[in-house]
Amino acid sequence: MKKFTFALMALLAAAFTMNAQQYVSTEPANRNVILEEFTGRNCGYCPDGHLIANNIMANNPGRVWAINVHSGSYAPTSYPNFNTSCSATILGGFSVSGFPSGVVNRSTAAAQGRNVWNSLATQQLGQAAECNVAGVVRINPGTRMATITVEVYYTGNSGYDQNYLTVAMLQDSILGSQSGMTSNPAQVVGNQYCHMHILRDVITESAWGDEIAPTTQGTLITKTYEYQIPESIGNPNGVDVILDHVFFLAWVSERFQGTPARPILNACELTKTYMTDQPVYPSMGDLSQVIAASCSMDKDFKFVLTNIGTEALTSVKFNAQIAGATHEFEWTGELPSGDNTKMDFVMEIPFGSYTGTLNIIEANGQPFEASMGFTAESQEWAEAEFLGETTNLKVYIIQDQWGEQITWDIINSAGEIVAEGGPYQHLVGSGSTQANVENIENVPTDECYLFRIYDSNNNGICCNYGNGYYYIKDATGNHIIDGDGDFGSMASHLFSLKRDHTYVDENDASNSLNIYPNPANSKIFVEGENVSVVELYNSLGQKVLTVEGSDNTSVDVASFKNGVYVVRVITNDGSVTTKKVTIAR
């Protein structure tokens, strides 16, 4: 594989460097963190290490990056083989007494256990950095050539005359075996493990980095590399290198201490873009269905359109093929070379799950061919009707023994969480169950909702651990949704809370009907011609009773609690009369 260093510039005048830098900040900042995690597919405790590293990254977005270094006795060469020469070099540079273990910004000569990674990362994040690092990776998807530009700006003085710049390529979303994977269920896909942030290659000439100097305050150093991204890495049983799944990290280490260059002074993730030498070249990415409640077959989709050609894009025609139908749409505008824009479109999707293809068929008025696969789903939904603007719901979760693995939420059509619950307590005794009831008040009507229930161990709330299930009721006890516990990692249900807009206030209604007495005790009477249906609604706007109408209709309310109710009368010609009636005894 080719690695070419194109240029090294050290610009010493502070005023000049302020103008020359393109990507890196010149403002003093604290250190970012590289966590090199020594791991392997045959290591039963390593998924717990992955989970800890993931949590540290999630708590410090854009400031901490884990690198999974697969090497040593727990890293087999069967497929997927993650072993590389640079992984072996980095593992060999530190004293490693067990797996998983790791070094945090190479601040220690020996790898540390996973129980101290968070505290070490917190210490590093609080320290002032001597330099900032930033840059960009431009990938030509046709040739797989990556042009990498890295800038290092010294906001302070390093303690040594030479430092070392390292650029590494990592890859996400590689499926394969993993011992002990159930301790990190979020990365379990079926019976395989989704391996993340795997070290695939080091781009700099040495695994420990290329020497950079000078290292004094105000210095800007720019290095450019060209790197031919391989189709596959690993011998034997190599793993394909998927361009959309790779990303690049850069960091500056202080000096050689023993074998490795350490400690790490600062680090960054390089911005990744796609570029070609073709004048017109649109590219698509991040295509997905929008996650929101949608009680309609019309589903929203989004993707990113990037101009990786040398000329500005002014128009692009697309078609989406799915479920035997073709949907066409067009974008017009001004998208300069190297820029991107967020796109969205709507398609009617029949009930079910499907795979489809989004195709670019024309760009800037010229024929063009590019395709991207996607998945789509359309669920049927339940409906409940109410008179009021809001209503109350009850969520019933009958858990299995492992309640601590259960969570749920309800989102609306905007994707906002309107209610959530769990986790619940662990029950003593195999096969135990327990009911958990959650009251949700003042839920807006005229809205679609999506209920989702999760089990973090991917085995639902049933079977060998207790026969759990779940359901949602409205305030009158009507079931809106029902579900059993055999759902794996997640189940979802759509439901619509419809508001009856034919409601007419009694002051605007016809006076030809007589509704009495008010207050009522045990019966309400409705007198009038052509009465078709009489309905009774409670104060929450929920229908509690329906009676077939006549010229003299009686409604038995003896079983209802005291309070204010709405009597709704519908005549044969469709007109509606309503009146508020108090039941009091």
User: Is the model's pLDDT at 2 over the cut of 70?
Assistant: no
Nearest to 314 by CA among 328, 330, 332, 329: 332
Share of the chain above pLDDT 90, in %: 74
Q: How far apart are CA 28 and CA 496, in angstroms?
A: 52
For 454-490, letters b (16+ CB in 10 Å) and e give: bbbbbbbbbeebbebbbbbbbbbeeebbebebebebe
- pLDDT at residue 556, rounded to an integer: 93
The vertex-428 CA angle with 422 and 432, nearest 5°, equals 75
Q: What is the pLDDT of residues 249-308, one digit of tens each?
A: 999 999 999 889 999 999 999 999 888 889 999 999 889 999 889 999 999 999 999 999
- pLDDT at residue 431, rounded to an integer: 87
Q: What is the pLDDT of residues 471-509, one digit of tens each?
A: 999 877 889 999 999 988 889 999 999 887 655 444 444
User: Is the model's pLDDT at 248 over the cut of 70?
Assistant: yes
The vertex-138 CA angle with 137 and 144, nearest 5°, equals 110
pLDDT category of residue 10 using cuts at 50, 70 and 90: very low
Cα 543 to chain centroid, rounded? 38
- Which residues does 253 contact at the CB level (< 8 Å), separation at least 6? 106, 163, 164, 166, 208, 209, 260, 261, 262, 263, 264, 265
Judge if pTM exceeds 0.85: no
Cα 93 to chain centroid, rounded? 36
Q: How far apart are CA 494 and CA 382, in angstroms?
A: 6
State both tokens at 111.
């790898």
Place of tokens 């993340």: 196
Question: Are 169 and 197 spatial neighbours (Cβ–Cβ below 8 Å)?
Answer: no
User: Is the model's pLDDT at 365 over the cut of 90?
Assistant: yes
Q: How far apart are CA 247 and CA 270, in angstroms?
A: 8
State both tokens at 22.
């393109």
**What DSSP character marks residue 561?**
P
| Domains and their CATH numbers in the chain | 3-274 (2.60.40.10), 282-378 (2.60.40.10), 381-499 (2.60.40), 514-583 (2.60.40.1220)
State both tokens at 269.
């993730």
- pLDDT at residue 72, rounded to an integer: 95
- Which residues does 389 contact at the CB level (< 8 Å), separation at least 6? 444, 445, 446, 499, 541
For the purposes of burial, counting CB atoms within 10 Å of the CB of 536, is it exposed (0-12), middle (13-18) or buried (19 or more)?
buried
User: Side chain identity at 25, as an amino acid letter?
Assistant: S
User: Is the model's pLDDT at 389 over the cut of 70?
Assistant: yes
Q: What's the mean pLDDT in 332-343?
A: 92
* Count of CB atoms situated within 10 Å of the CB of 380: 10
Q: What's the mean pLDDT in 8-21?
A: 40
What one-character-per-residue DSSP string does 464-516 give?
A: GG---EEEEEETTS-EEEEEES--TTEEEEEEEEEE-TT---TTTS-SS-EEE
User: Is the model's pLDDT at 18 over the cut of 50?
Assistant: no
User: Side chain identity at 98, as an amino acid letter?
Assistant: G
State both tokens at 527.
């007198």
State both tokens at 99.
């797996």
- State the pairing for strand pair 543-548/531-537: antiparallel
pLDDT category of residue 551 using cuts at 50, 70 and 90: confident
- pLDDT at residue 41, rounded to an integer: 96
Nearest to 321 by CA among 376, 380, 365: 376
Q: How far apart are CA 413 and CA 445, in angstroms?
A: 12
pLDDT category of residue 386 using cuts at 50, 70 and 90: confident
- pLDDT at residue 501, rounded to an integer: 63
User: Side chain identity at 9, as an amino acid letter?
Assistant: M
pLDDT category of residue 19 using cuts at 50, 70 and 90: very low
- pLDDT at residue 508, rounded to an integer: 42
pLDDT category of residue 1 using cuts at 50, 70 and 90: very low
User: Is the model's pLDDT at 6 over the cut of 60?
Assistant: no
pLDDT category of residue 3 using cuts at 50, 70 and 90: very low
- pLDDT at residue 15, rounded to an integer: 31
Q: Which residues pair with 34 in a beta bridge?
A: 65
- pLDDT at residue 331, rounded to an integer: 96
User: Is the model's pLDDT at 216 over the cut of 90?
Assistant: yes
Q: What's the mean pLDDT in 442-470?
A: 89
Structure-derived torsion over alpha carbons of residues 234, 235, 236, 239, reported in degrees to the nearest 10: 20
Place of tokens 């600062």: 266
Q: What is the pLDDT of residues 89-138, one digit of tens each?
A: 999 999 999 999 999 999 999 999 999 999 999 999 999 999 999 999 99
State both tokens at 292.
């929101």
Average per-residue pLDDT for the chain: 90
What strands lie across the sheet with 563-571, from one edge to the other?
Answer: 543-548, 531-537, 563-571, 576-583
Q: How far apart are CA 441 and CA 419, in angstroms?
A: 10
Nearest to 470 by CA among 430, 427, 426, 421: 421
Q: What is the pLDDT of residues 23-39, one digit of tens each?
A: 999 999 999 999 999 99
Q: How far apart are CA 199 and CA 128, in angstroms?
A: 27
